[in-house]
Structure 1
Amino acid sequence: MVTNEALRVNLAGEDGLSIYPNKALLSNNSTDWGGLYLQYHRQPPPEMLENFCPQHRLIVHDRTSRSPIVETFEGLNQLYPMSQGTVRVLPANARTQAYWQTEHQFIVLAFEPELLAQHMAQTTDVSDVELLPIINLCDPLIHSMGLALKAELESGGIGGRLYVDAMTTALMAHLLRHYSAHKYSLSPIVSGLPRHTLRQVVDYIHEHLDQDLTLATLAAIARMSQSYFSRLFKQSTKLSPHQYVIQCRVDRAKQLLRQGEFSIAEIAYSLGFTHQSHLSHHFKRLTGSSPKAFLNK
């Protein structure tokens, strides 16, 4: 739930510009694109307030920068490089805040949630859907669509609205296929994740044990809402996603301890634990002995 501490910005109006130090270089605020909004920004390092928006937002990076972005999404901090073609998908009303250290140019594509729902109703039998949060994803198609819509706004060619409508339809279809999840109504007959989905998530966990494996990240891989994914994952593994990640980290720590090439502190850091005592706590809880005692067995 959004709190009063976050700034509400509405990209359908001028107040959407207030989260950045400078006004947008380009905007379609005076042009009717049927619920789709485009802004093109060149912004210095900002003092950006935490904010939320009633529209879905796609932040499209159109050039590479040597300075990374620090993104705070729903209270979680993430650091990632700014590369040409990378995209941030920010669902409506999600709280976010970002900071960068050098001047940055980017496209903001925003649209009303009803626009996605309308396209969904025309193409599927699903009654409801939610857009998944995706950070630092390389998506050449969204990147090219953002550039094409920017060029259309700059040129204002013949048949502009028809062109924008066609691009909007293609964008909504792409988002529905790749970055959305059904809002399922759980039933008692559900018996877990599909085998290929479970394997995909488990492989990702094992390959990224050193990173912050959030529920949002894992649910996005499975293309499900967080609550639905968490329920099915536990049915499949008998563990919650967080418990499974901790178990995998402890199992990997046991392997590394046996190899004897790294200190306990180095192992803890390499496996995403905040400090050595964090590893020791979970190691003893799951194995019955501390890492040091495990080495002396």
Structure 2
Amino acid sequence: MSPPRPATTSSDRLPVSVDRPRPPPHGSPPSLDAHVPLQTPVRPSASASPLPFLSSALTAPGRVPQLRTTRAPHLYAMWRTRPGGFYGLRAEISMWGSPNQEYSQDSGASIQIYCQDGGHYNLIEAGFHVSPSLYHNRDVRFFTYWTKDFKSASCYNLRCKGFVAASGTALVPGQAITPPSSYGEYDHYIRLSLNKDPKSEDWVVYRHDLQTPSFLGYFPVEFCSGTPRIKALTGFVNYLNSTRGPPMGSGHFPDENDDDKTTAYFRHVKNYDSKGRAFEPITVNMAPFS
């Protein structure tokens, strides 16, 4: 029997100004290969329809800044805002593996916040990916990432100064997640948020598919302090020009049945305001992606 849908929380407002977690010790945190179990969702009602990944397309110059510039091409399916005064996003992200992915390739999905810093944008993000070159296997893993201007500095997980993991959290950057969704059989997801704490001004990451919101850690404010900002929900694949790219999500476009067991999605999307309160997104301000 499939486990029940995760319980919803009694409030859309997150705790703010939480006690600062202690930074983890230097080096990789322990037990990253101990898989964290996922929940199996019940099919949502029509009022909670998913936002499926769009068709993949190359990022056009001058639109959204290029990511991970050591690899090309970079293919994205992106739902993003125009630049503005934004404070974060929450979304339910479907989990898909990529068992045949080559060592040099990367695929996944994430919540992204771009913050203007002078004449360029910095990026912070949290999500899930398959990256054999980073972990030496093809497990689906929770990850965090930041980059300053997309060329001078960047870092995954806890490998250098940046994201600070909460003490005792059950989901650490780099942690393996299991099982992923299986095409036509079952649908697995995790619900994450990345938003600006109204008092500390740090960018906090929570997991929301448990009985109560679980604080996973934060990006210090200096990693994303400028405005205007762009927020985005993004599926991505990165690979070398000499190789065939891996699938994005399930590797299939949405069909007329809108079946969660066959299509990758972002669902139950929420925006955050300056006081840390979640609210329904207003999609009329979303920029077309082409």
TM-score normalized with structure 2 length: 0.20
Greater share of residues in helix: 1
RCO higher in 1 or 2 (8 Å CA, sep ≥ 6)? 2
TM-score normalized with structure 1 length: 0.20
